[in-house]
Amino acid sequence: MMNYRTTQALPLAAGTVVQLSEAQARDRKDRVEPLGDGRFRLKDLQTFKKGEVLGIDGELPKVHQLCVEAIALVADPAEPVMAARPMFAKREKRG
């Protein structure tokens, strides 16, 4: 299962297996089927908002790959590991 952060609205079809945080699952409780270990099968088409973090089982179609960025997670999809900032950021020239 790959973990992603949405960069724009992401529609996922019924039957897609996802890993959700407790809050995400609670908000969709009547629209997901629990599979255990934080994994759920979507019962219908669902759209995830920009900025949501979730795990998705299987390969995403190319059209959906434009809507997400892959991330590494700690323990909960709600707590992603953030990439480190570059040590030497570009500075603006003062003139």
Q: What is the pLDDT of residues 9-66, one digit of tens each?
A: 999 999 999 999 999 999 999 999 999 999 999 999 999 999 999 999 988 888 898 9
Q: What is the 3-state secondary structure (H, E, C) of 19-72?
A: ECCHHHHHHCCCCEEEEECCEEEECCCEEECCCCEEEECCCCCHHHHCCEEECC
Q: Where are the domains of the chain?
A: 2-70
Dihedral sign of CA atoms 29, 30, 36, 41 in order: negative
pTM (global) more than 0.75: no
Residue with token string 């969709």: 28
Residue 95 banded pLDDT, cuts 50, 70, 90: low
Name the residue among 81, 74, 68 with its Cα closest to residue 12: 68
